[in-house]
Amino acid sequence: MSDAERDWAQYALLLIDVQRDFWPEKLAESFSDFPSNVARLLALCRGEDIEVIHLRAIFEPDMSDWMARYKLRGRIPCVRGTPGAETLPFARERPGEKVILKHSFDGFQSPELLRYLSHRRKRFVLTAGLVTSVCVLLTTAAAAQMGYLTAVVEDCCADQPDAHEETLDRYQFMFERTTVDRIPEHHPEWLDRLEELDRLSRAEP
């Protein structure tokens, strides 16, 4: 299938929490290709017309929207107005790209995300970002449970190395795995799966 024939209207990329507080020096050392891979992913999605949705963690300094465990700790990442809440330069949105703020691990806890995906008639969600075993996993799991087909772009995720690999290996029953370079070649099989879902829906009594 040529580039011109690929229709990505039903797909969206969720780029999750690529922010300074989630990108400590040790993680950057372990995943040195992460910045360039994310930049390539964004370039691919923009070039192929795969809609990009940016999910960002943000919390108010007064603790009003903090999860209970963090209130007890007295600290939380990505407090509004702090350097840690800033988006890393290689992952910044372009004008017109949707940005959704969240106050939890799972992006679907922000009702705006499901409403937006439904409005845009998305059915297949690609996920990437920080960190693999927490916000990427939980957002991907929520998408799968809400009826979306899902694929994690594994070379555009990062975590402690063992946690990263274990998460990708353990939870393959809920998502597919891909890389930036393989996304275009997956299009025919992913399209087949969407069409099979349509056939199954039409066959239901």
H helices, E strands: number in the chain: 7, 6
* Residue 60 vs residues 72, 85, 109, 110, 188: alpha-carbon distances, Å: 15, 11, 17, 15, 44
Predicted TM-score of the model (pTM): 0.96
Residue 152: asked if its preceding bond is cis (omega within 30°), the reply is: no
Asked whether the predicted pLDDT for residue 2 surpasses 70, the reply is: no
Q: Which CATH superfamily includes the segment(s) 7-203? A: Isochorismatase-like (3.40.50.850)
Mapping DSSP to helix (H, G, I), strand (E, B) and coil, where does residue 23 land? coil
Residues 157-205: tens digit of each pLDDT: 999 999 999 999 999 999 999 999 999 999 999 999 999 999 999 887 7
Query: Radius of gyration of the chain from Cα atoms?
Result: 17
Q: Which of 6, 21, 93 is nearest to 53 (CA)?
A: 93
Break the chain into its structural domains and give their ranges.
7-203
Q: Which one-letter DSSP state was computed for residue 59?
A: B
CA distance 169 to 125: 19
